[in-house]
Amino acid sequence: MKTLISILISLLVTGCGKKQPTNSNQDKNPPVPLPYQKAKKETPSKNDVNNSTPENPLSEVTPRPKITLAEAEKVAKNLQAAVEMENSEIVFRLINRDILIGRAMPKSLTDAQQKKEIIAGARAAFKEILLQNLSMGTYQFLRVSKTPDGVQATMRLILPNGGVNYHHLVLGRRIDMKPCVVDIFAYTSGEYLSQTFGRLITHSMPAVKLTDATAMQGIKQFEDMTMAMQKGAFSRALTIYEGMQPNWKQQKTTMQMRIVAANQVAVSNLQQSQPMGDEYRKAVEDFRRTFPNAKNLSLLLIDFYTLNKDYKQARAAVDQLDKQVGGDPYLNFIRGNIALSQGKKQAGKDLFIKLTKDMPKNPAPYFTLIDLALMDKNYKEVTRLLINTEENTPVRFDPDFNGIDSYKDYLASPENIKWKAYKKGGK
């Protein structure tokens, strides 16, 4: 069961639109220390969050009264705060695992004992894995909106590599009428978490005895592919996929896992100045052919088009995603990186500058602007950006940037005197 939940969470927290590698020598360099200390998470007020209703194992979704926009916003903001505090207890007061798991249970699952074991295993795995993965990035409330099915809240997840994912929180009521999250629509999977989980249960526990050799082989291969991906053995995961039975190979989640693995192999090849290979293209094209109306295509295609240097289509995919989520200024970070990949430095800089105004607390655009200023040897601009970053974001740079080579010439310039004076508290 933990394996299935790991797959669910990986789709929930995987993002697209990260900065892509090139074949430049710079990308061959081994990892170096960061020039700054990792930002500490600000601890929000606990007053509102701690008043959330405890999770009730026996609760069910109660359809009335309808969730209001104000209630949806409060739940979403409380969830953001709970993730920032890395408080699992509060997260699962706000996300009702029992209702979510109940929505996932296949009707064909009639064995009471088996169902009980699945629910117990899923509850434990969700609690262990979900918060751990969400807190690795920046999880933020974006907006609430009305849909034909009711009110939903949209969350943005920015990953450490700059990639992005979006979640629509489906809200319901417990028996005590308190609002809670009962399901999550993840943009990387293009469906509700309960749909993905239900399908995985159906495929992993088919209507045959588990002594059936064919059924057991399919389950074993799926688990092996999952474990290979968790270990970063993406080529191995693709090899396992090729040997799978047709019903497993054409399963939506398995095909999405294949895309993720193929993307990682393509990126690794480029970083080593090798041809990207054809597996990534085949994985994406097979998925598009099998699921032509998948709601996650715009997000999945950003990386695909960018790696293939089809920047016009990559930009179109970003614009389509922007429209789908109702608008998000952070997508200018991805547009800026696409512009840089095209060699349009000024256009990229303009987008990053705009993002520093739209999202002043987000350090990502500042980092890129600093890198660009260092490459241009515009050290006065570097000083200005360093100070702006510290004054607007939680980031604090090491005075000597931990000895990183790209700052060597800056440290030898007159601007370094101004920087050191600032770090010592001077003007």
Average pLDDT over residues 274-294: 93
State residue 200's pLDDT score: 79
Helix (H, G, I), strand (E, B) or coil at 3: helix
DSSP string, 32-56: ---SEEPPPPP---STTGGGSPPP-
What's residue 11's pLDDT?
61
Q: Which residues of 76-93 are buried (b: 16+ CB within 10 A; e: fewer)?
A: bbbbbbbbbbebbebbbb
Say whether pTM exceeds 0.75.
Answer: yes
Among 104-113, 172-181, 277-286, whose mean pLDDT is lowest? 104-113
Picking from 423, 345, 333, the residue whose alpha carbon sits closest to that of residue 378 is: 345
CA–CA gap between residue 275 and residue 268 (Å, rounded): 10
Q: Report the chain's mean pLDDT, rounded to a whole number.
A: 85
Q: Is 169 helix (H, G, I), strand (E, B) or coil?
A: strand
- Nearest residue to 328 (alpha-carbon basis) of 291, 373, 362, 281: 362
Q: What is the pLDDT of residues 90-130, one digit of tens each?
A: 999 999 999 998 898 888 777 788 888 888 888 888 887 88
At residue 123, the pLDDT reads 85
Domain assignment of residue 299, yes or no: no
CA 118 to chain centre: 26
Q: Quick check: is 228 in a domain?
A: no
More confident residue, 334 or 108: 334
The more confidently predicted of residues 338 and 28 is: 338
Residue 70 reports pLDDT greater than 80: yes
Domain membership flag for residue 352: no
Q: Is residue 287 part of a domain?
A: no
Q: Is the pLDDT of residue 290 over 70?
A: yes
pLDDT-above-90 percentage for the chain: 58
The pLDDT assigned to 27 comes to 38
Q: Which of 174-188, 211-225, 332-346 has the lowest mean pLDDT?
A: 211-225
Domain presence at residue 26: yes
Q: Which residue has the tokens 């500058």?
A: 353
Which 3 state secondary structure label does DSSP give 150?
strand
- Answer whether residue 294 is part of any domain: no
Q: How far apart are the first and last CA of the chain?
A: 58
Residue 61's domain spans which residues?
Answer: 1-205
Give the 3-state secondary structure of residue 369. Answer: helix
Q: Is 106 part of any domain? A: yes
Is residue 153 situated within a structural domain? yes
Q: If residue 258 lies in a helix (H) or strand (E), which one and from where to where?
A: helix 252-271
The DSSP annotation for 272-314 comes to TT----SHHHHHHHHHHHH-TT-TTHHHHHHHHHHHTT-HHHH
| DSSP H stretches of helix in 54-192 | 69-84, 88-94, 97-104, 112-134
Kindly indicate the confidence band of residue 30, based on its pLDDT and cuts at 50, 70 and 90: very low
pLDDT tens digit sequence for 247-277: 889 989 899 999 999 999 999 999 999 989 9
What six digits make up the tokens of 315? 């930009």
The number of folded domains in the chain is 1
